[in-house]
Structure 1
Amino acid sequence: MFDRLIATLDSIVARDPSPRSRWEVLTYPGLWAVGFHRVSHWLFESGLFFLARLVNHVARMLTAIDIHPGAKIGKHLFIDHGFTVIGETAEIGDNVTLYQCVTLGGTNPTNGIPGKRHPTLCDNVIIGSGAQILGPITLGPRARVGANSVVTKDVPEGATMVGIPARQMLVEADDYAREFMPYGTPCGDRFDPATQKLEILECQIAVLAKQVEALKAERDSAPVAIAPADPVTLPRKGKRA
């Protein structure tokens, strides 16, 4: 158990540039919220629903993070700052990062029968602050969701989603290959939600500019075919009177 705690602390230090030591991470509300959830989830699975809810409410009062006891959470979940809501049927893989004010919310089943109502997040998913992930959808491994985005459809592996409703944006291959991208999107060193749309447009323009340059280079390197000139016909001299 101690080794698992150390591994979790190290995983958070690797994803957050602010802590100077593991001791600081021990004060993070997200760490405590996940710890309380481990207890409440065990009670929930044992059929002790009232006690599970009681632990859940105590955790919410102390951390401002609401994780339903029925949610399934993998290893090394990092909830940065808090104010996050995770629904009952949500499933979270390993090494997932959620920034503040994220909601993994549910939708009402069309058949009226309770079932899978909340999203599934695969391994290494990053959700930006204020994002809303709604319904029984799946976010593939290493998917990223930008700040304040609303996702209501499945997200493929490695995709970056931004906007309302969220749409996939172009990302450079070297950005995709990175092990971890802070704040979910590679739109620049500064990523202020107030300038989010401008940042996204700048990214898209930069990618399109590179594609245009590549097309120009390909055109310039291609051999130019010279069409044969039409023969010149000289006018005949008329007869003198």
Structure 2
Amino acid sequence: MIKKKINEYITVINTKSGSLPFYRLDIWLYIVDGVLIDAGSNNILNKIKFPLQQEKIDCAAITHIHEDHTGAAAWIKNNLKIPVYVAVNSIDEAATKTNLPFYRKVVWGNREAFVANPMPSRIETKNFSLDVIAAPGHHKDHVVFYEKSNGWLFSGDVYVSRKQKVALTDENIGDAIKTLNRLVQLDIGKIFCAHTGIHIGGKEKLQSKLDFFLNIQNQVNTLKKEGLALKEIDKRLFPKKNLWTICSGGEWSSLNLVRTI
């Protein structure tokens, strides 16, 4: 686990989630002038309790309800005694403990129920203003936090990498394309990603991912016009199955990407 201040106002906590020694995923948390962005997964809770208790945190702001972003939310709410903001449509889901498939329990762990607070349209700190922007795609109620004066985008799972070859069952890549189209209109200098850390040249990174999706979309549409079924298109574009597809029994798959793009 690494904790460091990257400037006067932002502290980063980076650790790995998962109990499989050969497959562990990075989780990045950001404390921005008293605002904790996301709450990690339940199975990193014991690693992050003390670092969080050392910081002055006024509230937590959650990009989306998935268990790798809300896993410590119940502990944060009950022990730090601060508001935990989620999208209004996710408040009821937050109030129920998750019952995850086995592989997700192993990688992230079940999230405990917590009492969430409705997300405001803007989060004001002593020094900054974080605009809350709807960013559906990876999740229908996903939001991002944009600090305009510095060009910072706290992006959750909107940008993890330039190329994305699998999608969750409830993910919608068509919506992700619309979100990226909106975000590239902003002056974004740095992306603060929940899984791959800090990326400079944020606007260019988002454009690159958008271009990747648009290329796949064009190929899918062309093959549809040729009469190919979705499964045939999937095999044509993504002949090799991803490890996530095998481990998840298809909950993560390239077919989900093809189906929704």
Greater relative contact order (Cα 8 A, min sep 6): structure 1 or 2?
2
The reply to whether TM is greater than 0.5 is no
In the superposition, the TM-score normalised over structure 1's length comes to: 0.30
Computing the radius of gyration from Cα coordinates, the structure with the larger value is 1
- Taking structure 2 as the reference length, the TM-score comes to 0.28
